[in-house]
């Protein structure tokens, strides 16, 4: 028997693998004590990600009445239904805001005793904005219908288009962001990002009648300013060129880093527009796969020059070329301490 197998056998005789769990737990505890940024050891609770998604589900129900409800909504029960939803949302959202505010207080020198009250006040302030948010979303859905000939109805867009969820969550999160609510707005938009592949920072400023066609891979940065009636396609990045740093090498925050798109701009798939001083003028059109780091005047169309194409005989393209066969690495056999197990024999044969 090899020395490696002797060590394994001795270890298995000393106890089961599960007996090492206290040792592993202690190692994790020790590492968490030394990395403050990745540890939250306190009696104060953080906002729950699952609760945030529950709040988003209820808000989708309220903003699109009758589309996402689990029960039939009619004129007869509408007032009761909405009131019941708002009551549930008030309890959930005010608690989440209180926890997020309390978390920020923990990082400061002053301890806030009014977190619960602020949570309730901020929730009411947010509720007051919902009718206006709903009207803006109606214009967004109409822009999607008018901008996509494949759309058969507004119902289809509301039920099935990924931009519906991404833009709705952004509109919700942006209002909370403007109320200076910590944590929750970003948790909301990153949840939408994980579901739709569309990444919109809640700090971005986006006008009315906004449409993202297809959507996958779209990135809209924190300091973007987007006007009315703007349409962008999949894979578009509205990002930053570089991050200015101070004399200590730290990133300077709270500066305009992302581009501005004026009204009636169209940006086609795969385009990348970078820089806080970049302005895409009203009515401009940015073609697919364009890379832009400078401003574009109003009404101008920017496209790549057509690349050259080379046509080859299919037999030439698919003709196999001789090459040395590549050896594929095989997984190492699993050791089993039971001498009657075939794996034990295979391992011993491999080690010998």
Q: What is the mean pLDDT of residues 196-217?
A: 98
- DSSP, collapsed to helix, strand or coil, labels residue 81 as helix
Q: What is the mean pLDDT of residues 147-167?
A: 96
As separate numbers, helices (DSSP H) first and strands (DSSP E) second, the chain gives: 10, 14
Intrachain domains 43-197 and 204-321 with the same fold: no
Between strands 225-226 and 260-261, the pairing is parallel
Q: What is the pLDDT of residue 12?
A: 47
Q: What is the pLDDT of residue 36?
A: 61
Domain residue limits, the chain: 43-197, 204-321
Q: What is the mean pLDDT of residues 296-311?
A: 92
CA 121 – CA 215 distance, rounded (Å): 35
pLDDT of residue 190 exceeding 90, the answer is: yes
Q: 29 falls in which pLDDT band (50, 70, 90)?
A: confident
Which CATH superfamily, name and number, covers 204-321? Hexapeptide repeat proteins (2.160.10.10)
Q: What is the pLDDT of residue 40?
A: 66
pLDDT of residue 109 exceeding 50, the answer is: no
The class level of CATH for 43-197 reads mainly alpha
- 233's CB contacts (< 8 A; 6+ apart) are 212, 213, 214, 267, 268, 269, 288
User: From the centroid of its chain, how far is CA 248?
Assistant: 30
- Per the prediction, the chain carries an average pLDDT of 87
pLDDT of residue 111 exceeding 50, the answer is: no
| pTM reported for the whole predicted model | 0.81
CA distances from 120 to 17, 89, 98, 110, 167 (A): 50, 11, 8, 21, 25
């Amino acid at each position: 028997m090899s020395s490696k197998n002797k060590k394994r056998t001795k270890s298995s005789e000393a106890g089961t693998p599960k007996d090492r769990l206290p040792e592993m737990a202690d190692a994790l505890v020790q590492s968490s004590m030394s990395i403050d940024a990745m540890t939250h050891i306190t009696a104060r609770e953080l906002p729950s990600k699952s609760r945030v998604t529950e709040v988003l589900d209820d808000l989708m129900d309220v903003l699109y009445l009758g589309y996402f409800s689990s029960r039939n909504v009619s004129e007869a029960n509408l007032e009761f239904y909405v009131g019941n939803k708002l009551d549930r949302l008030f309890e959930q959202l005010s608690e989440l805001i209180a926890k997020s505010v309390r978390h920020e207080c923990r990082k400061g020198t002053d301890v806030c005793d009014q977190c619960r009250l602020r949570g309730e006040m901020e929730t009411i302030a947010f509720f007051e904005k919902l009718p206006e948010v709903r009207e803006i979303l109606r214009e967004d859905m109409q822009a999607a219908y008018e901008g996509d000939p494949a759309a058969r109805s507004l119902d289809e867009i509301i039920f099935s288009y990924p931009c519906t969820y991404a833009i709705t969550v952004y509109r919700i999160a942006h209002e909370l962001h403007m109320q200076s609510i910590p944590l929750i707005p970003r948790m909301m938009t990153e949840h939408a990002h994980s579901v739709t592949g569309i990444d919109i920072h809640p700090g971005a400023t986006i006008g009315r009648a906004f449409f993202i066609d297809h959507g996958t891979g779209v990135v809209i940065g924190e300091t973007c300013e987007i006007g009315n009636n703007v349409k962008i396609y999949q894979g578009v990045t509205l990002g930053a060129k570089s991050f200015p740093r101070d004399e200590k090498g730290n990133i300077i925050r709270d500066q305009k880093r992302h581009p501005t798109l004026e009204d009636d701009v169209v940006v086609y798939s795969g385009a990348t527009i970078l820089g806080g001083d970049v302005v895409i003028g009203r009515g401009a059109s940015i073609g697919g796969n364009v890379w832009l780091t400078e401003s574009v005047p109003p009404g101008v169309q920017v496209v790549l020059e057509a690349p050259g194409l080379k046509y080859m005989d299919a037999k030439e393209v698919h003709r196999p070329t001789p090459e040395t066969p590549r050896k594929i690495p095989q997984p190492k056999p699993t050791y089993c301490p039971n001498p009657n197990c075939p794996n034990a024999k295979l391992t011993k044969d491999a080690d010998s």
